């Protein structure tokens, strides 16, 4: 009988048996597809392996993600591990020169953690029209992120539209008229109906409000009983700084009194007069924007709308210039938080 000698492995050879680290760079750990079958926006990115941490994967794939957002306007990350709102903020920070505060506010929001905010805190039954974040201003975020912490029981989607496709869908005559005449936003604060100026400007100090307005090109007038009126002219369209596409980029249809229910509109004008409405939009020369033009713009948004249900844990990264968003009414509890980054100015585009 032949004796077999079995050599014990050396310590050095044991090292070669250790599990090799998994490469997190590139697309080998993700599946890429569509959220909505007949739309290429947003791109859907899902993990191809279980328990893949989004923050860790993003740290190794920033340029890949930026390329996808640049191509489609937005990316929806679904099925990843997002441990906390702090982790979500860290995801945003990876792609940000600066996380932005929400100044010169248009809607009620609350600070959730750090510079992460609640989504607009309008009552659940209200619809929020399509808009690019802060396009009523001369400065806005280039990037906007959403994270679904709790999905609504029914509806509560965040519809999306391609701002270039909206621009192309609006008739040339309407586009040219708006571009020729410009848009002005008029706001009256202190009537107890809309946001008070203290919330809008995040200060109790009138001198700080005046300094902000002077820097931002906002006309202001202090009225009796601590009320304030502001007026600002801002862009109608913008050219995307990266791809050169022309974008419909204003909120005239949202600020204009025609956005109100007809009965509420009649009441508000009777209560405050048209000049005293909490918010309104006119052409820059002060002339009235006809309702039918704004209806045409709303229809263009409706025709281009992409809608999909939120799932808990979803993270949505949008180019705020390329893609507009809104909110559908909902039932039940809904918690979607928002981070904004990298200011762009009207002069910059």
So what's the pLDDT on residue 17? 37
> What is the arithmetic mean of pLDDT over 56-71?
95
DSSP string over 66-107 = HHHHHHHSEEEE-S-B---HHHHHHHHHHT-S-BPP--S-SS
* Average pLDDT in the chain: 88
pLDDT at 3 over 50: no
Closest to 307 in 3D by CA, of 33, 127, 42: 42
Cα–Cα distance between 108 and 115 in angstroms, integer? 15
Helix 172-181 vs helix 291-303: angle between axes, to the nearest 10 degrees? 120
What are the pLDDT digits (tens) for 168-202? 999 999 999 999 999 999 999 987 777 889 988 98
Q: Residues 144, 320: contact at Cβ < 8 Å?
A: yes
Where exactly does CATH 3.60.130.10 map onto the chain?
27-157+308-348, 166-300
pTM over 0.85: yes
pLDDT at 19 over 50: no
So what's the pLDDT on residue 24? 59
Could you say which of 3.40.50.2300, 3.90.1010.10, 3.60.130.10, 3.40.50.970 is the CATH number of the domain covering 27-157+308-348? 3.60.130.10
pLDDT at 334 over 90: yes
- Per CATH, the number for 166-300 is 3.60.130.10
pLDDT at 9 over 60: no
If one compares 348 and 210, the residue with the highest pLDDT of the two is 210
H or E element at residue 283 = strand 279-283
pLDDT at 10 over 60: no
Cα–Cα distance between 62 and 55 in angstroms, integer? 10
So what's the pLDDT on residue 16? 38
Question: Confidence band (pLDDT; 50, 70, 90) for 25?
Answer: low
pLDDT at 332 over 70: yes
- DSSP lists the bridge partners of residue 153 as none
Task: Out of 9-23, 191-205, 215-229, 245-259, pick the least confident.
Answer: 9-23
Q: Residues 317, 75: contact at Cβ < 8 Å?
A: yes
pLDDT at 15 over 50: no
So what's the pLDDT on residue 18? 38
């Amino acid at each position: 009988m032949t004796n077999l000698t079995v050599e014990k492995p050396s310590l050095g050879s044991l090292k070669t048996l250790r599990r090799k680290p998994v490469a997190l760079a590139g697309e080998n750990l993700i599946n890429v597809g569509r959220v909505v079958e007949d739309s290429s926006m947003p791109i859907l990115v899902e993990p191809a392996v279980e328990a893949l941490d989004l923050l860790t994967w993003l740290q190794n794939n920033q340029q890949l993600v930026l390329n996808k957002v640049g191509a489609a306007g937005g990316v929806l990350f679904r099925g990843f591990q997002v441990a906390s709102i702090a982790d979500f903020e860290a995801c945003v920070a990876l792609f940000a020169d600066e996380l932005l505060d929400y100044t010169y506010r248009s809607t009620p929001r609350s600070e959730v953690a750090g510079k992460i905010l609640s989504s607009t805190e309008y009552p659940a039954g209200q619809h929020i029209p399509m808009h690019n974040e802060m396009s009523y201003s001369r400065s806005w975020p280039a990037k906007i992120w959403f994270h679904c912490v709790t999905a609504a029981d029914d509806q509560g989607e965040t519809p999306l539209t391609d701002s270039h496709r909206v621009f192309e869908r609006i008739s040339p005559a309407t586009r040219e008229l708006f571009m020729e005449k410009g848009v002005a936003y008029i706001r009256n604060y202190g009537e107890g109906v809309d946001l008070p100026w203290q919330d809008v400007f995040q200060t109790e100090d009138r001198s700080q409000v005046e300094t902000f307005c002077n820097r931002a090109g906002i006309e202001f007038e202090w009225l009796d009983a601590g009320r304030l009126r502001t007026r600002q002219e801002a862009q109608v369209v913008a050219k995307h700084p990266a791809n050169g596409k022309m974008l419909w980029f204003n909120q005239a249809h949202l600020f204009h009194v025609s956005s109100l229910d007809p009965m509420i509109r009649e009441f508000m004008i009777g209560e405050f007069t048209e000049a005293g409405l909490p918010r309104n939009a006119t052409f820059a020369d002060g002339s009235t924007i006809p309702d039918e033009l704004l209806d045409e713009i709303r229809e263009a948004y409706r025709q281009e709308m992409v809608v999909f249900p939120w799932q808990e844990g979803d993270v949505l990264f949008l180019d705020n210039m390329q893609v507009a968003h809104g909110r559908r009414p909902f039932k039940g509890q809904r918690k979607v938080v928002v981070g904004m980054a990298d200011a762009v100015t009207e002069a910059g585009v």
